[in-house]
Structure 1
């Protein structure tokens, strides 16, 4: 019996070590991959206002946010702010890392293109994502075209189309008469009562949980929303804490005398679930 107990403990020890080794390799290529841009667009389409949108992206069961940029072991609260210039809106998604530091995560640029038409894209901040990480709604238009196989033969050709988002409730909310530009009332230490942060999931788990969002939104290399980027650029918030975007972050600590200490954090995805 004693030998059996020792054997079982040995097997459990090997299994635990193997699991920990796998966890070390379980991290995203970029820190921002722990926030689903596709998921953010899915919830933006669903929301009736920016206040509701902010609530949705901060709910655990919606599988959009898995960020812990300040490495306190809990997910960060995402705040939403609108920047408006004529018929252009820039929805900025940010988080406070402490009382003074704020880091932008992504922007949703929306431009009106007609009386009842508008386009949008979401772009991840370059501190957290690969350069030019742009996501947009995705739809397929099927056209009947003559086939090369014969004079009377026809074939269906699928073509991607730019989606008109004018009839999304959130977009109609922004362009409604009397709309007042929304700025989240929340900040570091002042969060809504309903919000309960959770321990971030391992990246492989989170990636699977937000897979549903990637069906209707895809990556593109084309900047269609040009004015919004120009409007946003001079107002971008970049934290001095987050200074690397590949395979983890680097935290910069400053003491009262102004001395700076640079500490590399463990790789993203180190949380256990």
Structure 2
């Protein structure tokens, strides 16, 4: 009885465990930004399958590929993605952009194809900051040999740029031919061929090809179901490092942005694409360590004396200046002349207790003043008698 119960438990676990794990693996991953409706992994996959940039633009807007789900102007219809290329030396910058209206254009992403001095080719798809946030970059993984899409077979004429033999036209009609590296992608061979001419989409707002018909965008959870396998694919990876920042910065200086897109994003109009359902954020991507610098410490030591190659440095600095190296003959104490007022002589010279006899203060004047006579000497004035009659008798 116990064995039958145990067998039944194991059987039920085996039946339900795959669905549990698949539900966990298939949980939608979203940035919460408008770029969630244009999967850059799928864009890069279509890019490596295309023969020319014109084919690449057509494949992006093909409803059967289910790659373009952008509605930036929020009119309920899918936006047409235009492709425009620029060449600067050995670097090709392919810009993906959308005409939001008759006056504004919003860049969606940039694909950089760069050839270094060793003729190694690097491809990166860099999402625009307004749609994907900062440093959202997808590139072919270096950990897997072969093309990111091993099922793709080049069964048509491919242009090869071989500077040694100058053999530019090579036909690969073998159906078993599989491109083995990024440098063998048909579109990459086209970009570096002598017949390449910079491409600019002939279509713009209100004027689109006859084969294109806009359709209503789907909710993000349905859209993620089309491309969720790319997040577990070993052929692509996310990074935050721009391989050629010089040319990317040149592009940023002429980057197209739209006020309509910024306002719609700020007002939360793009959130309706999630239909109120939950999703998980993508795992943060850290900047990889620089090659040849693996011995660099992760964190700086707190004590400067413990830095590599500086073990002879004293741990603590001398407190007393007299103990500094090479200064042993310096006197420990300073000259006797006091500089601190607290070390001045306690006894000051006494001042004379008595002042000179000569009084300088009016309070030392003689207390007795010479007495003045109380009575003044009587002085008698000579009596004067006037004549009783001034010549009256004499005048007749």
TM exceeding 0.5: yes
Secondary structure of 1:267's aligned partner: helix
Whole-Å separation in 1 of the counterparts to 2:197 and 2:66: 29
Bigger proportion of residues as strand? 1
1:215-248 deviation line (CA, Å, top 9, x unaligned)? 222211222232331231222101111116xxx6
TM-score, with length taken from structure 1 = 0.72
Give the aligned partner of residue 222 of structure 1.
241
Residue 61 of structure 2 is aligned to residue 58 of structure 1: yes
| Displacement of 1:94 | 0.3
Between 1:224-233 and 1:170-179, the stretch displaced more is: 224-233
Whole-Å separation in 1 of the counterparts to 2:125 and 2:35: 13
Give the aligned partner of residue 7 of structure 1.
none
Q: 2:186 aligns with which of 169, 183, 187?
A: 169
Is the 2:61–2:81 Cα contact (8 Å) retained in structure 1?
yes
1:166-206 deviation line (CA, Å, top 9, x unaligned)? 11111111111021100000100110111111111110110
RMSD: 2.4
Secondary structure of 1:187's aligned partner: coil
Secondary structure of 2:199's aligned partner: coil
Whole-Å separation in 2 of the counterparts to 1:86 and 1:268: 43
Whole-Å separation in 2 of the counterparts to 1:71 and 1:105: 15
Whole-Å separation in 2 of the counterparts to 1:47 and 1:69: 25
Q: Which structure 1 residue ranges, 4+ long, deviate > 6 Å from structure 2?
A: none
Instruction: Flag the 1:141–1:101 CA change in 2: closer, same or farther, 3 A.
Output: closer
Higher relative contact order (CA 8 A, sep 6+): 1
Unaligned 5+ residue runs, structure 1?
A: 1-25, 143-162, 251-262
Q: State which structure, 1 or 2, has the greater radius of gyration over its C-alpha atoms.
A: 2
Instruction: Flag the 1:40–1:34 CA change in 2: closer, same or farther, 3 A.
Output: same
TM-score, with length taken from structure 2 = 0.50
Aligned residue-pair number: 212
Whole-Å separation in 2 of the counterparts to 1:120 and 1:239: 27
Is the 1:68–1:76 Cα contact (8 Å) retained in structure 2?
yes
Is the 1:81–1:91 Cα contact (8 Å) retained in structure 2?
yes
Residue 223 of structure 2 is aligned to residue 206 of structure 1: yes
Q: 1:267 aligns with which of 271, 276, 291?
A: 271
Give the aligned partner of residue 90 of structure 1.
93
Whole-Å separation in 1 of the counterparts to 2:45 and 2:108: 16
Whole-Å separation in 1 of the counterparts to 2:236 and 2:66: 15
| Displacement of 1:97 | 0.6
| Displacement of 1:62 | 1.3
Q: 1:249 aligns with which of 244, 261, 265?
A: 265
1:75-98 deviation line (CA, Å, top 9, x unaligned)? 110000001111111100000011
Unaligned 5+ residue runs, structure 2?
A: 1-28, 146-179, 276-396
Whole-Å separation in 1 of the counterparts to 2:142 and 2:131: 27
